[in-house]
């Protein structure tokens, strides 16, 4: 076998220019594939991180049916019991309680329909980054019972500023009118219009009073040590709590839109993979087939001397595999180095910042290389290089010695 490998290798060296062009095609193709995959992975990671950090959390626990209906009447009755179980879970970094309700907020001049969020300021800071988005004033504190923060767009619509009074009106859990006056402590600007125009935040304690929800909560939002564990940890929590009255949702189920967007992106990547693989396949096929056609006489001699057809097949396949392996080494090195470098500096896409913000992305995207994606890309190139050798190898192995030797 070694001699056949040696012949295959020397055939590659024999046509240095042609081999170099093929290796460039394979290398740049794979390098581009690794980089594009890393860019998309980086963008997805950012989207997930930003989305789950901003408000949602990475796992949400509700009473069953809350996610679909979002009604105040669907609440968790004994959150402390769940809390003690969550504290034992090694995958969980922190968690917080939230009361969620729809209502009306009014200033002396205007009013607007809003989503009211009751949060525990101290724990919320460990779960979400909404406190970082406060552009004017301050975030809520434990003692801000009459304080409220709201989106900067909503404040414009209501024409209110810091320390001004606004009134929340809704329906409490017991059916009574829930009404309360709050002072604007801060204004946040998340860049997401639906939040900036439609959400107000008060303390959990104030929400309990307002909605008559003592010792109850609508949601427990969880932040994990690693967001990629969301589905696994959700299953673990389900098994641990073992309650049919609760729904435990990883972020993929909380925001199906984000999940679908990521799926769509991945689908688009598959298209790119197919295009790159076609380029790689044509490159290798061209070199190997040309090599085989040029060496028809030589293959005729090999067959005449007693070389078996399967040995000819192996020889051509090795040639193709060599091109695939060397091209892959070059390509993976190129792709990984490019990813590492741009992973440090980031890719400046600030000219699209408004569009990026809508998709929870920052103006700088940091490509992230994932080992499994690199391995899959390399394996695809290698498999392609073997597959495209089938025709030239079959052609060479099925030559008739007499006719092949006569050829020029």
Partner 1 sequence: MSLIKINNLYKTYSSGKNIMTEALGGVNLSIEKGDFTAIAGPSGSGKSTLLNLIGALDSPTRGSIFYENIDITKIPLNKLALFRLEEIGYVFQAYNLINTLTAIENVEYVMLLQGISNQIRRKKSIEILKRVGLEPYIHRFPNEMSGGQQQRVAVARAIVAEPKVVMADEPTANLDSKTAENLLDLMKELNEEKGITFVFSTHDQMIMSKARKLILLKDGKIAT
Calpha distance 101→179 (Å, rounded) = 13
Q: CB count, 10 Å around CB of 340?
A: 12
Query: Is 10 an interacting residue with respect to partner 1 (CB under 8 A)?
Result: yes
Stretch that binds partner 1, among 95-103, 178-186, 298-306, 359-367 (CB under 8 A): 298-306
Calpha distance 143→148 (Å, rounded) = 12
Binding partner 1 (rule: CB under 8 A), the pick from 113, 175, 267, 306 is 306
Query: Is 90 an interacting residue with respect to partner 1 (CB under 8 A)?
Result: no
Q: How far is the CB of 288 from partner 1 (least distance, A)?
A: 15
Calpha distance 143→190 (Å, rounded) = 24
Query: Is 3 an interacting residue with respect to partner 1 (CB under 8 A)?
Result: yes
Q: How far is the CB of 319 from partner 1 (least distance, A)?
A: 10
Report angle CA 299, 302, 308 to the nearest 5 degrees: 105
Query: Is 303 an interacting residue with respect to partner 1 (CB under 8 A)?
Result: yes
Q: How far is the CB of 315 from partner 1 (least distance, A)?
A: 10
Query: Is 290 an interacting residue with respect to partner 1 (CB under 8 A)?
Result: no
DSSP letter for each residue of 202-229: EEHHHHHHHHT-TT-BSEEEEEESSGGG
Q: How far is the CB of 28 from partner 1 (least distance, A)?
A: 27
Nearer to partner 1, 297 or 370 (CB): 297
| Residues 17-30 as b or e (16 or more Cβ within 10 Å = b) | eebeebbebbbbbb
Structure tokens at 77: 């009755």
Query: Is 87 an interacting residue with respect to partner 1 (CB under 8 A)?
Result: no
Q: Which residues lie below 8 Å from residue 181, measured CB to CB, with a gap of 6+?
A: 146, 165, 166, 167, 168
Nearer to partner 1, 69 or 406 (CB): 406
Binding partner 1 (rule: CB under 8 A), the pick from 280, 302, 313, 314 is 302
Query: Is 301 an interacting residue with respect to partner 1 (CB under 8 A)?
Result: yes
CB hemisphere CA count around 172 (13 angstroms) = 16
CB hemisphere CA count around 14 (13 angstroms) = 14
Stretch that binds partner 1, among 140-148, 231-239, 307-315, 365-373 (CB under 8 A): 307-315
Query: Is 18 an interacting residue with respect to partner 1 (CB under 8 A)?
Result: no
Q: Taking Cα atoms as reference points, which of 265, 323, 268, 266 lies closest to residue 290?
A: 323
**Residue for token digits 């008060």?**
202
Calpha distance 97→79 (Å, rounded) = 8
Nearer to partner 1, 7 or 347 (CB): 7
Nearer to partner 1, 10 or 225 (CB): 10
User: What is the x/- site pattern for partner 1, positions 386-405, by CB under 8 A?
Assistant: --------------xxx--x
Query: Is 15 an interacting residue with respect to partner 1 (CB under 8 A)?
Result: no
Binding partner 1 (rule: CB under 8 A), the pick from 5, 7, 104, 112 is 7
Q: How far is the CB of 8 from partner 1 (least distance, A)?
A: 9
Query: Is 297 an interacting residue with respect to partner 1 (CB under 8 A)?
Result: yes
Calpha distance 76→64 (Å, rounded) = 9
Query: Is 5 an interacting residue with respect to partner 1 (CB under 8 A)?
Result: no
The site for partner 1 (CB under 8 A) is made up of: 3, 6-7, 10-11, 14, 297-298, 301-309, 311, 400-402, 405
């Amino acid at each position: 076998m070694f001699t056949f490998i040696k012949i295959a290798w020397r055939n590659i060296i024999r046509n240095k220019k042609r081999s170099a062009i093929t290796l460039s095609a394979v290398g740049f193709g794979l390098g581009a594939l690794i980089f594009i995959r890393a860019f998309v992975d980086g963008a997805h990671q950012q989207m997930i991180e930003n989305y789950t950090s901003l408000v949602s959390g990475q796992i949400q626990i509700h009473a069953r049916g809350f996610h679909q209906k979002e009604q105040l009447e669907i609440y968790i009755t004994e959150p402390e019991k769940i809390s003690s179980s969550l504290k034992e879970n090694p995958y969980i970094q922190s968690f917080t309680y939230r009361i969620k309700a729809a209502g009306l907020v009014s200033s002396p001049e205007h009013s607007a329909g809003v989503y009211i969020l009751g949060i525990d300021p101290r724990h919320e800071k460990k779960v979400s980054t909404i406190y970082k988005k406060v552009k004017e004033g301050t975030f809520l504190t434990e003692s801000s019972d009459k304080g409220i923060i709201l989106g900067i767009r909503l404040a414009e619509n209501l024409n209110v500023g810091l320390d001004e009074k606004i009134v929340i009106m809704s329906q409490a859990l017991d059916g009574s009118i829930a009404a309360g006056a709050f002072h604007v402590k801060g204004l946040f600007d998340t860049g997401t219009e639906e939040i900036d125009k439609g959400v107000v935040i008060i303390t959990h304690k104030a929400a309990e009073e307002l909605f008559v929800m003592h010792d109850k909560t609508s949601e427990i939002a969880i932040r994990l040590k690693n967001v990629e564990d969301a589905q696994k940890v959700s299953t673990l929590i389900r098994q641990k709590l073992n309650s049919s009255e609760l729904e435990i949702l990883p972020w993929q189920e909380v925001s199906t839109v984000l999940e679908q967007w990521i799926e769509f992106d991945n689908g688009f990547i598959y298209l790119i993979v197919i295009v790159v693989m076609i380029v790689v396949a044509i490159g290798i096929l061209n070199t190997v087939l040309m090599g085989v056609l040029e060496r028809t006489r030589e293959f005729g001699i090999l067959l005449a001397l007693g070389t078996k057809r399967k040995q000819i097949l192996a020889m051509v396949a090795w040639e193709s595999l060599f091109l695939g392996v060397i091209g892959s080494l070059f390509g993976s090195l190129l792709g990984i180095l490019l990813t590492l470098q741009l992973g440090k500096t980031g890719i400046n896409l600030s000219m699209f910042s408004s569009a990026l913000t809508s998709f929870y992305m920052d103006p700088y995207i940091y490509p992230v290389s994932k080992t499994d994606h690199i391995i899959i890309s390399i394996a695809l190139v290698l498999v392609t290089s073997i597959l495209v050798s089938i025709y030239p190898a079959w052609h060479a192995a099925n030559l008739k010695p007499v006719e092949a030797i006569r050829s020029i």
